[in-house]
Amino acid sequence: MSLQPPKATKTTFLRILEALQFFLHKSIKNLLHYNLNKFLHTENIMERRSFLKVVAASATVVAINPSLIRGTLYADNGMLYRAYERTQLIAANGKPILASKLEKEVNYIFNYPYASTPCLLVDLPKPTATDVELTSETGEKYIWKSGVGKNRTIVAYVAICTHQLTHPTPSDSFISYVPMNGKTMAYDKSGIFVCSSHLSAFDAQAGAKVLGGAATQPLSAVVLEVAADDTIWAVGILGADKFQDYFKAYKPELKQFYNGPAEAKKLVSISAKTVKLTEFSKEIIQY
């Protein structure tokens, strides 16, 4: 009887993928899309070995860019991530948003990954924490790596409160970042995100971890990349999102502002217009 090698677990190989990040050679991009999908859905160890050979052959050091991974990955190594189209943040005039030009502690807003799902972008006053373990309301654990940019201060989170889906609209916004010199009833310190509907507080420095209030899980994080030319790109969403609940709960609003659910649910690609929250919402409500 011939001896068979032990089956490799998905967790083992997902750990390998997590370690191989950010420097994927463009010439094998399409090939990796195809092989990665097979890799994640096969128990055949030979097919998995073939996938790793494809990666290794491309360069001495090759990494899987998070924006290439399609679908949500759940694993005990702390990953709950869904990739979407790599999208550049641009100003209202069409020019790229540059990381070094962001105003400190100012709320910027853009829609991602769907045409109607708002996200808040902030350049914090100091570097964020790193490798923060977070937990969804259903118990999945995942790791928020850190902010991005030269000083690790730039963060973005989905601006849909995980308690009752409060979010910014052109009329008003009850959710925003409270600067360090600001005051809030939601928590004893500022420099946090606050949903003023029910005073939920989220840690801007640590993956939007819940600090207080009625929310039972962090805000979903937008995974960002800052390119060598200082441009900012959104590539995916980390954490348990509330997108489908949002679409179901706000059908009249989606019709009012986005010409109906079909348009509202279109995935954003290429670019996302980014403006100050004060330019997007007529009134900012902050308690």
Predicted pLDDT of residue 79: 61
**Where does the pLDDT of residue 148 fall: very low under 50, low under 70, confident under 90, or very high at 90 and above?**
very high
> Do residue 154 and residue 260 come from a single domain?
yes
Q: What is the mean pLDDT of residues 88-108?
A: 98
Closest listed residue to residue 159, CA positions, set 122, 104, 211, 190: 122
Calpha distance 219→274 (Å, rounded): 19
Please count the structural domains in the chain: 2
Residues 6+ apart with CB under 8 A from 40: 10, 71, 73
The pTM is what?
0.77
Q: What is the pLDDT of residue 20?
A: 46
pLDDT at 181 (0 to 100): 96
pLDDT in tens, 19-29: 444 334 333 34
What pLDDT, on a 0 to 100 scale, did the predictor assign at position 80? 85
Condensed to tens digits (0 to 9), the pLDDT of residues 151-204 reads: 999 999 999 999 999 999 999 999 999 999 999 999 999 999 999 999 999 999
Residue span of the structural domain in which 31 resides: 10-64
User: What pLDDT is recorded for position 9?
Assistant: 44
Report yes or no on 2 lying in a domain.
no
Q: Do residues 240 and 99 share a domain?
A: yes
Of 38-47, 76-85, 181-190, 226-235, least confident by mean pLDDT is 38-47
The reply to whether 132 and 242 lie within a common domain is: yes
Residues 46 and 93 both lie in one domain? no
Q: What is the mean pLDDT of the chain?
A: 82
Q: How confident is the model at residue 256 (pLDDT cuts 50, 70, 90)?
A: very high
Q: How many CB atoms lie within 10 A of CB 113?
A: 24
Task: State the Cα–Cα distance between residues 97 and 257, nearest whole angstrom.
Answer: 24
Q: Are residues 56 and 111 in the same domain?
A: no
234-258 exposure pattern, b = at least 16 Cβ within 10 A, e = fewer = bbbbbbbbbbeebbeebeeebeebb
Does one domain contain both 53 and 99?
A: no
Structure tokens given for 226: 């800052």
